Amino acid sequence: MGSADDRFREMFYEEARELLISLEEGLMELERRQGDRAHLDKTFRAAHSLKGASAMVGLGSIAEFTHGIEAVLERIRIGSLAVDSDIITTLLESRDHLAAMIEGEAADSPIPGSGHLSQRLAALLTPPKPAPPPAAPAQPAASPAPVPTPPAASKPPAPKATAPEPPPRKPEPPAPEPAPTPEPPAAEAAAKPKRSRRKPEAEPKPKAPARPKAAERKTMPAAEEVEQGGPNESLYRIRFAPGPDVLKRGVNLLGVFDELRELGTLDVQADVEAVPTLDSFDPESCYLSWTCTLRTEVEPERLDDVFLFVFEDGAIGVERRLPGGSFEPVETPLLKLPRGTPVSSPPSAIVRPRAAAPAPEAESTPGEPAAAPALKPADAAATNGAARSGAGTPTPAARPHGRIRVDAQQLDDLVGLAGELAVISDNLQGLREVKSASPWGSTLEALLRVSREIRDTTLDLRMVPVDELFSRFPRFVRDQADRTGKEIELRIVGQETRLDRTIVERLGDPMIHLIRNAVDHALEPPEERLEKGKSRVGRITLSAGHEGDRVAIKVEDDGRGLDRERIVRKGIERGLIPYGTPADDPRVVSLIFEPGFSTRDQVSDMSGRGVGLDVVRDSVRALRGSLAVESAPGKGTAFIFRLPLTLALIDGLLIETGGGRYVVPLAQVEECVALGGVTQALSADRPCVTVRGELVPTVSLRGLFGITGTPPARQELLLTRHSGQRVGVAVDRLSGRVQAVIQSLGEGLHGLGRFSGATILGDGSVSLILDLAALVSESRLAENQSRNKPPAGMRAENVR
């Protein structure tokens, strides 16, 4: 009930969403690069963190379900389960279900845990086991009824299951041991059947190399049995020295010991050597290290779970007691993680610097969300860890700058304020010109400079890498490929390009639309591609990059390309282009953006391109961008979005018409010509002029706004492009260039498409921002309607 509790939950949901993204990315990556240890660990950690976090906020069923996922990942991690696309599919579906559960909780309408998926997860765990685990109840956790298996398989069951049997069966559990060596071949083997929906028969392959090694160890368990009371118990000595900042990161060290205690019999000894004298004592630093003796049945890998978070910021060494009483170092996947350490480990207890964890991340996809899971512990550590990293913990290799989460609304407010500040200082600039000799001239100068810098920096805060947009498509393309039975490779280029947050958010749907089109209609099925001499696998490329002051985002495929003949036929049929238009006319391609073009019978008629493309184009226009298409028959098609870097600020032209001042975005104006200098091409009521020999239809702003009175003798014509054609907009006067901070006109005025917003000019007055494209289509509409009406009729109603 308490609001603190709510906030806690809110934080959980936020974090969970990030972890879900990370999990999905990890799974996708896992399929592509099976041998990649770092990714596997990252993915596992995402699942593990999610489990921990949900258990912490009391969402038991979510934690339980996540545990199933984690268990499968754990099996992959220790090398006893080979990745194939079926497993990934199951894991991805489980992830989706998990996402639904979490969103359900967030929306207060819990979705029950799915027994079906849990069973599928459990099934993944069982095949390599020779016998169904009879010792399932080993895990007393309240598991949902239909899923007794996953918890059992993931944790210590291996030895347990075999416990009643004679020692020779023991080779099974040590399988994890060979992880580093046999992995590459295993990965290769598994990589081949990439898309094939094969049942996990590939199973034995990765394990084959494991056998000999396991055999070497075979003797040990038997001996241990004699040494130690329990049948499968081992004695571990764990040296654990957390970094000095571990407490500041909020790690509960007692929890670590509690977890260890759950594994078996624990004895802990603290080393207080490092505790300084009182005057240099920092109560928030951890000076202690511990030596733990643990007698347990579980595999050493299980210890990873316990030390997962502490590990990043400390040193841990694990040794197992050998029959003779001496200790040998144990390497778990986590402990092995940093370098490809050879199996023969250093003689002394291993002290592992934590640089380990961040390193693989850096090498993984450079995208931002990918780094999400590491964000909380590692980042926090990076910020205050650098100064006082203790003996065993070298500073992490230059981690990227710390990040904080900011409320989007506050950010927008800040941007607004910064814009206002810039305007106010512009006003001051004007004042200064009045009294040029005033003593505060230099102060004003400084104020101007600072306020401009504040504005720029603030605008920059809104910028995010397009990767936030791109990163959701690998999964999407995978699903689409599955759905259509096509083989598709997705390439992503330039994901570090930064763009306004709002643009990135609103570009999602248009891109999904284009990608779906590409998969459904542009890319050929594998056989057809082979026939055409193309590679079997179709390719879709998403790329982003700068083009002058704009960002270009491209969705490209190497499929069929647009069928111009058909588009022309269709266009003529619908009266959009004149009869006899050749297929190479530049107008042809723009036809696919016509509303409703080819929505019906499209699939057979023109390979479906153009379905709702007008909607895509409109949404890009709303972002003050443009959409272009390039296509070569048989080679493929590219859709190119060209977008402004930011939505908050535009370069504009200040114009005047009939006493009113308006701003026209510079990006919409190709050229300005004096109307006096051009000749009226046709009679007066057909407003066309010739500009350097080209016939250009014109729209009069006075006419559209219903302004009476005589225009000045010398009007200006703004040339813009509309549906690939040049159109002129006549205005009274050009008054110069302005930088405008755009403000929305508010909901009440949404109906007025001709204005894309308003801005406050240097003198404090409000000026409306014209949308030339909307103005032109409006006048076109008015023209069409006036065919049935007296010319002035329709406009008159709209005019005050």
**Residue ranges in contact with another protein by CB under 8 A:** 416-417, 419-420, 423-424, 660, 704-707, 743, 745-752, 754-755, 758-760, 764-768, 797-800
DSSP β-ladder status, 488-493 and 463-465: unpaired
Nearer of residues 438 and 744 to another protein, judged by Cβ: 744
Nearer of residues 590 and 739 to another protein, judged by Cβ: 739
Nearer of residues 486 and 754 to another protein, judged by Cβ: 754
Provide, rounded to whole angstroms, the least separation between the CB of residue 707 and another protein. Answer: 8
Q: How many helices (H) and strands (E) does the chain have?
A: 31, 23
Provide, rounded to whole angstroms, the least separation between the CB of residue 779 and another protein. Answer: 12
Closest to 715 in 3D by CA, of 672, 686, 754, 664 = 672
Which pair of tokens denotes residue 376? 């909380």
CB neighbours (10 Å) of residue 141?
12
Distance CA 680, CA 657 (A): 20
Nearer of residues 138 and 761 to another protein, judged by Cβ: 761
Burial 596-634 (b: 16+ CB within 10 A, else e): ebbeeebeebbbbbbbbbbebbebbeebbbbbbbebeee
Nearer of residues 166 and 746 to another protein, judged by Cβ: 746
Question: Which amino acid, residue 316?
Answer: I
Nearer of residues 215 and 450 to another protein, judged by Cβ: 450
Per the rule left: phi > 0, alpha: psi between -120 and 50, beta: everything else, 542 is beta
Provide, rounded to whole angstroms, the least separation between the CB of residue 750 and another protein. Answer: 8
Distance CA 133, CA 472 (A): 38
Provide, rounded to whole angstroms, the least separation between the CB of residue 56 and another protein. Answer: 28
Provide, rounded to whole angstroms, the least separation between the CB of residue 426 and another protein. Answer: 12
> What does the longest C-alpha to C-alpha distance in the chain come to?
110
Q: Say if CB 701 and CB 754 are below 8 A apart.
A: no
Nearer of residues 405 and 750 to another protein, judged by Cβ: 750
Helix (H, G, I), strand (E, B) or coil at 607: coil
Nearer of residues 340 and 746 to another protein, judged by Cβ: 746
Distance CA 322, CA 433 (A): 87
Helix (H, G, I), strand (E, B) or coil at 746: coil
Q: Rounded to an integer, what is the distance from CA 91 to the centroid of its chain? A: 19
Which pair of tokens denotes residue 652? 């504009």
DSSP β-ladder status, 725-731 and 694-700: parallel
Provide, rounded to whole angstroms, the least separation between the CB of residue 419 and another protein. Answer: 8
Closest to 175 in 3D by CA, of 238, 82, 66 = 82
Provide, rounded to whole angstroms, the least separation between the CB of residue 458 and another protein. Answer: 14
Q: What is the DSSP letter of 710?
A: P
Distance CA 204, CA 211 (A): 11
Nearer of residues 454 and 745 to another protein, judged by Cβ: 745
Find the helix or strand (DSSP H, E) in which 204 lies: helix 204-207
Question: Which amino acid, residue 422?
Answer: A
Nearer of residues 280 and 765 to another protein, judged by Cβ: 765
Question: Which amino acid, residue 370?
Answer: A
Provide, rounded to whole angstroms, the least separation between the CB of residue 153 and another protein. Answer: 48
Provide, rounded to whole angstroms, the least separation between the CB of residue 706 and another protein. Answer: 7
Question: Which amino acid, residue 626?
Answer: S
Helix (H, G, I), strand (E, B) or coil at 719: strand
Nearer of residues 603 and 799 to another protein, judged by Cβ: 799
Distance CA 581, CA 585 (A): 7
Distance CA 659, CA 490 (A): 54
Provide, rounded to whole angstroms, the least separation between the CB of residue 764 and another protein. Answer: 6
Nearer of residues 5 and 14 to another protein, judged by Cβ: 5
Provide, rounded to whole angstroms, the least separation between the CB of residue 717 and another protein. Answer: 19
Provide, rounded to whole angstroms, the least separation between the CB of residue 773 and another protein. Answer: 16
Provide, rounded to whole angstroms, the least separation between the CB of residue 460 and another protein. Answer: 20
Nearer of residues 275 and 799 to another protein, judged by Cβ: 799
Nearer of residues 491 and 750 to another protein, judged by Cβ: 750
Which pair of tokens denotes residue 339? 């370098």
Distance CA 609, CA 629 (A): 11
Radius of gyration of the chain (CA): 33
HEC sequence for 86-138: HHHHHHHHHHHHHHHHHHHHHCCCCCCCCHHHHHHHHHHHCCCCCCCCCCHHH
Contacts of 722 (CB under 8 A, 6+ apart): 772, 773, 776, 777
Q: Considering Cα of 390, then 393, then 394, then 397, what sign does the dihedral take? A: negative
Q: Say if CB 200 and CB 84 are below 8 A apart.
A: yes
Nearer of residues 192 and 750 to another protein, judged by Cβ: 750
The angle at the Cα of 316, spanning 311 to 319, to the nearest 5 degrees, equals: 140
Nearer of residues 600 and 800 to another protein, judged by Cβ: 800
Nearer of residues 121 and 663 to another protein, judged by Cβ: 663
Burial of 43 from C-beta contacts in 10 A (0-12 / 13-18 / 19+): buried
DSSP letter string over 553-582?
Answer: EEEEE-S----HHHHHHHHHHTTSS-TT--
